[in-house]
Amino acid sequence: GAGVSQTPSNKVTEKGKYVELRCDPISGHTALYWYRQSLGQGPEFLIYFQGTGAADDSGLPNDRFFAVRPEGSVSTLKIQRTERGDSAVYLCASSYDPAGELFFGEGSRLTVL
Amino acid sequence: TQLLEQSPQFLSIQEGENLTVYCNSSSVFSSLQWYRQEPGEGPVLLVTVVTGGEVKKLKRLTFQFGDARKDSSLHITAAQPGDTGLYLCAGTPNDYKLSFGAGTTVTVRA
């Protein structure tokens, strides 16, 4: 597609459930990023992929969060045992290379009840 | 604690007025970026400033990077309702990890 695509756009789940959020980057972009944006805040870095490998996962808040990018294109952010504090908009971005302009998707709004 | 502090947090002005948004840090950045984000959308890059003292203009928007590369400002002249949105500054302590400010919500009333 023309831009970064994220699904689902909205996800409502119950505390303790497992959630997967998907990101389809711009074709040809090797760098992929996940950010989390809470209400009234700027995006907060979670993880960065260069190709298939996670080059920096230092922003993941704890071991309930995990992300993969098995073929160097689509990425999935996985959250286990969701908590109410995980509620936020999860943004994905891609760039042609690490120093290039970031293009963001519209985000996946996660609500944990 | 955010690396970049933005002020003000909220700004509401009448169409035709001018406004300035500030972005400050105690750290030096190799570059700073400004984004605009509308509800339900991801941030969209407006400009990147890389040289201390640099001034860039984008139509009615003027961006300035401080001489010490620790601060930046965004000035909008004759604001229009279409300028309404969340303005975010962001910097990279390294090559790839963007650190964002909390943003300034700008509302331009018709």
Q: Tell me how far apart the terminal alpha carbons of chain A are, to the nearest angstrom.
A: 33
From A53's Cα to the closest Cα of chain B, the distance in A is 15
* B15 within 8 A of B110, measured Cβ to Cβ: yes
Query: What part of A 44-103 touches B (C-beta under 8 Å)?
Result: 44-45, 48, 55-56, 59, 91, 93, 98-99, 101-102
Say which residue the tokens 């933005």 belong to: B6
Residue A20 pLDDT greater than 80, yes or no: yes
Residue in chain B lying closest to A35 (CA): B98
Nearest to A42 among B95, B96, B103 (CB): B103
Residue B102 CA to residue B90 CA, distance in Å, equals 10
pLDDT of residue A24: 98
Residue A104 CA to residue B78 CA, distance in Å, equals 28
pLDDT of residue A98: 79
The predicted-structure confidence for B14-47, as pLDDT tens digits, reads as follows: 999 999 999 999 988 888 999 999 999 999 999 9
Q: How far is CA B21 from CA B17, B48, B53, in A?
A: 14, 16, 17
Residue B108 CA to residue B16 CA, distance in Å, equals 9
The predicted-structure confidence for A65-98, as pLDDT tens digits, reads as follows: 999 999 989 999 999 999 999 999 999 999 998 7
Residue B95 pLDDT greater than 70, yes or no: no
Task: Report, as an integer, the average pLDDT of B48-73.
Answer: 95
Residue A113 CA to residue B15 CA, distance in Å, equals 40
